[in-house]
Amino acid sequence: MSQSTSWHFSSILTSKYRDGGHENIGCTKQDLKNYDRDFKLAICHGDGQVLIDIMKEKQRLNASFFFEYKLDDKQRLTHVFWADGTCRKNYSLFGDVVSFDSTYRSNRYGLVFTPFTGVNHHKSCVTFAAAFIPNEKIESYIWVFETFLKAMKGAAPKLIITDEDLSTRAAIRAILPGTIHRLCMWHILNKLPERIGHDLTRNDDFMGQFMACIWGSKSPDEFEERWASILSKFGLENNPWLRDKFQMRSSWIPAYFMDFSLGGILRTTSRSESENAIFRHFVNQRLHLLEFWIRFETALEEQHQLELLNDNTSLQSLPTLETPWSIESHARDVYTHTMFYIFQHEVIVASTTKDSFSPPALNLFSPTV
């Protein structure tokens, strides 16, 4: 693609940042269909160059936008990382615990999409950064973690949650040696039907006991006792997958992380489901890189708008108090509405307890939240 053509598309797409949004560009539905057709024809031989040109222009317009990229020996785009100013600010506020997902295949070039995600003060998913890498080798993960640290001014997360990929583990040990590494419950439990049989996962008795063992155990000893009992009762002692999961239990079972506040990501099943909901409309499709990035930016913009809406609601209104306790009134003053309602529920439970004379010390980040 020529430099002039690349610049033409860059100008069109970045106009929304200069002019204040999609609504100010002005076009009909047919115009959009025609543009989509022409757009795909134009970028088919210069997709990567257009993407880089747009990111350079975005960085020129806003210095808080961070991106880096790498080319191979044939000048083809192989790595690209980006994080806008809002993403980087959110990381400075909510980045103690980060979910890193490398399970997405999202484009026609086979590049791996790797978002960094967290939870904000409204218990909503927020994206801290994202990248494309060429494969799942250690070198690729080392590059993305090194670039992440550079974007975040050297601030490493206290805990990172990933899937079970061995290369990811090795890269975390090399680049984030002071960060606790935990495996994502959602990815593990998604494999349960395949590994133990669909009939057993449809058994309410088994699933009730299994989930209670995972989530309800308060200590490693309690977990191990429950686990052994379930395997014996359902004849699973020789299941190799369950045996392997038990060997790595300290990396994914909450009972082994009770001494660390996971800031709302403790229930990684629901958190990863929420994260997947953000990206599911455009991952695992054979998209051009630029098509993917436009869809990603739209999802990110919606995410930012939701956060602003929730912030405004918390600033402009006050929840109703349910008890005379000053601790509830104080919580209303300092918490967002979402966090306050969680706190208020615990206060109400405490206030209705027969022998309760004062509110207990509460942990907003307990597994029951």
Give the model confidence (pLDDT) of 175-199 as tens digits: 999 999 999 888 899 899 999 999 9
pLDDT digits over 23-74, tens only? 555 566 665 555 455 545 444 455 678 889 999 999 999 999 999 999 988 8
Closest listed residue to residue 103, CA positions, set 149, 160, 162, 172: 162
Instruction: Looking at the structure, tell me whether residues 13 and 159 fall in a common domain.
Output: no
Instruction: Looking at the structure, tell me whether residues 149 and 273 fall in a common domain.
Output: yes
Task: List residues bridging with 115 in a β-sheet.
Answer: 130
Per-residue pLDDT at 68: 96
Of the candidate ranges 7-21, 25-39, 253-267, the one whose mean pLDDT is the lowest: 7-21
Per-residue pLDDT at 276: 59
Question: Considering the chain, what percentage of its residues have pLDDT values greater than 70?
Answer: 74
Instruction: Looking at the structure, tell me whether residues 73 and 23 fall in a common domain.
Output: no
pTM for the full predicted model: 0.78
**282 within a domain of the structure (yes/no):** yes
Per-residue pLDDT at 363: 41
Instruction: Looking at the structure, tell me whether residues 166 and 278 fall in a common domain.
Output: yes
Per-residue pLDDT at 351: 79
Instruction: Looking at the structure, tell me whether residues 88 and 173 fall in a common domain.
Output: yes
Instruction: Looking at the structure, tell me whether residues 146 and 203 fall in a common domain.
Output: no
**14 within a domain of the structure (yes/no):** yes
**242 within a domain of the structure (yes/no):** yes
**285 within a domain of the structure (yes/no):** yes
Per-residue pLDDT at 364: 37
Instruction: Looking at the structure, tell me whether residues 7 and 32 fall in a common domain.
Output: yes
Per-residue pLDDT at 258: 79
Give the model's confidence band at 80: pLDDT under 50 very low, under 70 low, under 90 confident, else very high: very high
**260 within a domain of the structure (yes/no):** no
Per-residue pLDDT at 260: 66
pLDDT at 154 over 90: yes
pLDDT at 239 over 50: yes
Instruction: Looking at the structure, tell me whether residues 178 and 285 fall in a common domain.
Output: yes
| CATH of residue 135 | 3.30.420
Euclidean distance between the first and final Cα of the chain, in Å? 52
Mean pLDDT of 130-151: 96
Cα angle at 25 between 21 and 28, to 5 degrees? Answer: 125
Mean pLDDT of 212-233: 95
Per-residue pLDDT at 366: 36
**263 within a domain of the structure (yes/no):** no
Instruction: Looking at the structure, tell me whether residues 58 and 91 fall in a common domain.
Output: no
Cα 88 to Cα 31, 151, 254, 295: the distances in Å are: 35, 8, 28, 20
Tokens for 351? 């206030």
Using a 10 angstrom Cβ sphere, with 0-12 exposed, 13-18 middle and 19 or more buried, the burial of residue 2 is exposed
Instruction: Looking at the structure, tell me whether residues 174 and 291 fall in a common domain.
Output: yes
Tokens for 298? 């739209």
Total number of domains in the chain: 4
pLDDT digits over 271-312, tens only? 555 665 666 665 556 677 888 888 888 888 888 899 999 999
Q: Which residue has the higher pLDDT, 3 or 287?
A: 287
Instruction: Give yes or no for a contact between 16 and 62, defined as CB atoms under 8 angstroms apart.
Output: no
Instruction: Looking at the structure, tell me whether residues 276 and 224 fall in a common domain.
Output: no
**134 within a domain of the structure (yes/no):** yes
Mean pLDDT of 325-336: 93
Mean pLDDT of 123-133: 91
Domain of 11, in residue numbers = 1-63
**261 within a domain of the structure (yes/no):** no
pLDDT at 4 over 70: no
Instruction: Give yes or no for a contact between 287 and 295, defined as CB atoms under 8 angstroms apart.
Output: yes
Q: How far is 51 from 294, CA to CA, in rounded Å?
A: 10
Per-residue pLDDT at 45: 52
Per-residue pLDDT at 43: 44
Cα 173 to Cα 65, 137, 214, 296: the distances in Å are: 28, 14, 26, 29
Instruction: Looking at the structure, tell me whether residues 159 and 242 fall in a common domain.
Output: no
Instruction: Give yes or no for a contact between 62 and 54, defined as CB atoms under 8 angstroms apart.
Output: no
Mean pLDDT of 353-361: 48
Tokens for 285? 């499709």
